[in-house]
Amino acid sequence: MSQLQRVPPEPSSPSPRSSGESERSAESAPRVLEDGVSIAEIQAGEDVFAYVRRVRGALDLRLYQQVLGAANTYKEGDEAIGVAAADEVSRAHARTLLARTRLGELHAHPPLEDRLYAFMLEAIDAEARAATADWTLGRLKDFLLTAREEEIKGVCRGLSSDVIACVVKLMTDAELTTVGSKVFHPLPGSKLGARGYLGARIQPNSPTDHPDDIRWQVFNGWAFAVGDVVLGTNPVSSAPESVAAVEAALHDILATFGLQEVMPNCVLSHIDIQARVEEQQPGTTGIWFQSIAGTEAANRTFDVTLEKMVEHAARRTGRFGLYFETGQGADATNGQHAGCDMVLLESRKYGFARALKRRVALAQVGAGREAAPWVHVNDVAGFIGPEVFRSREQLVRCCLEDIVMGKLHGLMIGLDICSTLHMDVTLEELGWCQEQIAPACPGYLMALPTRNDPMLSYLTTSFQDHVRLRERFGYRVDDRMWAFFQQLGVIDAQGRPTARFGDPRWVYVEYRKRKGDQRSEAELLAEARQQMDAVRSRSVPLAVGCGQHVWDLEPGLERELHSHYEDAKQGIWTELSPAFLETIPHAVMLRTEALDRRDYILHPVSGERLDADSVRVVESLRQRRGARWDVQIVLSDGLDPRSLMDEGHLAPFLEALRHELEAANYRVAPEHFIVRYGRVRAGYQVGELLFGDATDGLPRALVHVVGERPGSGHHSFSAYLTAPSGRVWSGHERPVDHDITRVIAGISDTSVRPEAAAHEAVRILGSLCRG
């Protein structure tokens, strides 16, 4: 799981078109990386393995990984890993070496072996694999560009994820578009993911998980005849009772309209929580979701194991199976890339999904049903930020790569064509990206009232973007939902917009009528207006009506969208003020290794570790304290320091938090650690320095308050809660990471109230400390 040109006047602020990040700019100004992979010369007929052996005298794994990475189009994430080509000559040489390399050799020499790799192999057809073992990657590329769809599908059954990643590296954007537009894997019994169709996941996120916010965004999407793949909400709270309430609200909409067998609902909490909710409320959870990574170690940061996912897949015997989200760079930003480039690891995520899809099919057969696994993937390209890539051309390239890799794995793949406010992609350029990517035929896109997510604070696809793309490219909505939209009266028998088009009040009227409500239309419309006003009062926009064209936002809403965008750009470059710092009692000032805010924004790893002076400060404090305290509060500026500085935000949270912690008999340290340029992992280092003790079996809690991404207008912060024993903090087995942390997001005076968040934090800490 987010952008105008008004960037605050820091001279270091990056320019979208000046740094050679795209293929287009690289052609006019070749990029040279000091620490990049240099391949100055290659010999006639030499492939990857011959080159590595000639240079190293043996098959050196690190150089092998670097040559594979050097073949990629430039992205910042590969540079950070140390696998980006030093220049265009090196990139061209790496691609030539790859094109000469045989598939069988790639199968025999995986650049990374772990249990996840072994699991992925079970989904590969051995006969199909043997049939192409003698092919070179160059031959495979030519085949994909010229063969018919069924021929491609026959060959792909034998291709490993590594082979698929490598052949994608050889293709231009135009060639990727050609392959994407040839291969389709529609979901069983539907037109979702079929040729000529573009679906939509309605993403009705709410800053407070308010059921009415969620319902009305669904009604809003359907008013534009948008939303046919899944109703999928990202929750603020992952508490089972909260997830259950949102699942029930989504399921109620589908059940009321008789759509339970047409499309599923989903709350995108951890899959373990969804399974628990299903046990409590059977039949309400729809499809089950999980974010997945490309290495076994990276999956652990999501609290995901092979055993766990296999067990969940075995339970999916009904109509709807599993829904995965992926994204280039996630493994690297979690420090678990194992030396492999982003394209290769992304491909392995699809290999993981392919193997789990096979397990769902086996579970269906075992339950006496036909093997028809409803499994799909959403590639969230651009959500992480500029440490992965920065420009609009890179976003397009990433999406095209991922569409093709997903399809070559036999998956129905959708996209979240998105950007964050600290990337160099504007609101207008996001629309340009959509139109470059649409001809490659993704199965579906995200869909929100505007391009700005009111909870996650990033930019993605609006309902009316779908209307525009359908008009421009002739795409259709799944036939069953199109007929439903005609029943709602938002489109006519010929599919043309009616007077009700873009007006969610009429969807609400139909919803109430199907509930048996006997009131008049006038009464129901009046109630609808009241409810919509309440939703908007919680800073959740609703798109009603249009501008000059039906695919244009209503002008007032367009101005509001740009206002949030400009506000967010200011927030990104804001610093904690001296006046604010003076208001924090018992403040202990720390800072990370980031040189300045620009370094922090563009190189997130710099904000994950304390500098040497700060380490000494924490170590000295620990020596003076002894073991008197078992809760430490840490405050980091994060991506929007205003979230801490705004009146009514941090102060009431800290006051309520300390009061409730002390009432619950926690020993709370009096000091507040303030980390300048701090990210979540900087808090873990504080915990390690303060609490790490291989002999201490008692829980030691860290409450880390971090400024969230700006963009929603709320100026929200999050509270990250981690409470393992001193033994775990010591890192004796492995470092503390996100998999044992709980988070409360969206805290502000206009979303999740600070006092309520403090109460929830103490409740969560209680459950964490009890184990």
Q: Which strand (E) or helix (H) includes residue 201?
A: strand 199-202
Q: What is the pLDDT of residue 3?
A: 22
Which residue bears the tokens 């740094």? Answer: 19
Q: Which residues contact 532 (CB under 8 A, 6 or more apart)?
A: 216, 504, 505, 542, 544
pLDDT digits (tens, 9 = 90+) for 672-710: 999 999 999 999 999 999 999 999 999 999 999 999 999
CA distance 375 to 319: 10
Give the per-residue SS3 of 261-276: CCCCEEECCCHHHHHH
pLDDT digits (tens, 9 = 90+) for 597-654: 999 998 989 999 999 999 999 999 999 988 789 999 999 999 999 999 999 999 999 9
At position 328, the amino acid (one-letter code) is Q
| Residue 33 vs residue 436, higher pLDDT | 436
368 CB neighbour count, 10 Å cutoff: 7
Q: Length of the chain, please?
A: 771
Strand order in the sheet with 375-381: 265-267, 230-233, 199-202, 444-447, 412-417, 375-381, 322-326, 288-291
Q: Where are the beta strands (DSSP E) in 331-469?
A: 375-381, 412-417, 444-447
CA distance 186 to 625: 61
Q: What is the pLDDT of residue 31?
A: 54
CA distance readout (Å), 526 to 469, 506, 520, 522, 530:
33, 11, 10, 6, 7
Instruction: Check if the beta carbon of residue 80 is closer than 8 Å to that of residue 606.
Output: no
Judged against a pLDDT cut of 90, whether residue 383 lies above it is answered with yes
586 CB neighbour count, 10 Å cutoff: 10
Q: What angle do CA 138, 169, 341 make, to 5 degrees?
A: 135
Mean per-residue pLDDT, 526-551: 97
Judged against a pLDDT cut of 90, whether residue 18 lies above it is answered with no
- Give CA torsion, residues 186, 190, 196, 202, to 10 deg: -90
Instruction: Check if the beta carbon of residue 632 is closer than 8 Å to that of residue 547.
Output: no
Q: What is the pLDDT of residue 421?
A: 86
Mean per-residue pLDDT, 525-533: 98
CA distance 147 to 127: 19
At position 143, the amino acid (one-letter code) is F
Judged against a pLDDT cut of 90, whether residue 188 lies above it is answered with yes
Q: What is the pLDDT of residue 12?
A: 28
* Exposed/middle/buried for residue 308 (C-beta within 10 Å: 0-12, 13-18, 19+): middle
Q: What is the pLDDT of residue 615?
A: 98
CA distance readout (Å), 257 to 626, 711, 761:
62, 34, 38
| Chain mean pLDDT for the chain | 93
DSSP 674-706: EEET--HHHHHHHHHHHH--TT--SB-EEEEEE
Please indicate, yes or no, whether the overall pTM of this predicted structure exceeds 0.85.
yes
| Closest of 170, 44, 122 to residue 356, by C-alpha | 122
pLDDT digits (tens, 9 = 90+) for 316-359: 999 999 999 999 999 988 889 999 999 999 999 999 999 999 99
2 falls in which pLDDT band (50, 70, 90)?
Answer: very low
The structure tokens listed for 428 are: 């207008």
Kind of pairing between the strands at 375-381 and 322-326: parallel
Mean per-residue pLDDT, 419-445: 95
CA 163 from chain centre, in angstroms, equals: 25
pLDDT digits (tens, 9 = 90+) for 79-119: 999 999 999 999 999 999 999 999 999 999 999 999 999 99
Instruction: Check if the beta carbon of residue 179 is closer than 8 Å to that of residue 207.
Output: no
At position 420, the amino acid (one-letter code) is T
Mean per-residue pLDDT, 261-284: 97
Query: What residues are paired with 267 via a beta bridge?
Result: 233
Q: What is the pLDDT of residue 32?
A: 65
Q: What is the pLDDT of residue 238?
A: 87
CA distance 364 to 642: 51
Instruction: Check if the beta carbon of residue 40 is closer than 8 Å to that of residue 94.
Output: no
Lowest mean pLDDT across 190-199, 613-622, 652-661, 743-752:
743-752
Query: Residues 127-134: contacts with CB within 8 Å, 24+ apart?
Result: 127/158, 128/154, 128/155, 128/156, 128/157, 128/158, 128/159, 129/158, 129/159, 129/160, 130/158, 131/155, 131/158, 132/103, 132/158, 132/159, 133/102, 133/103, 133/104, 133/107, 134/102, 134/103, 134/104
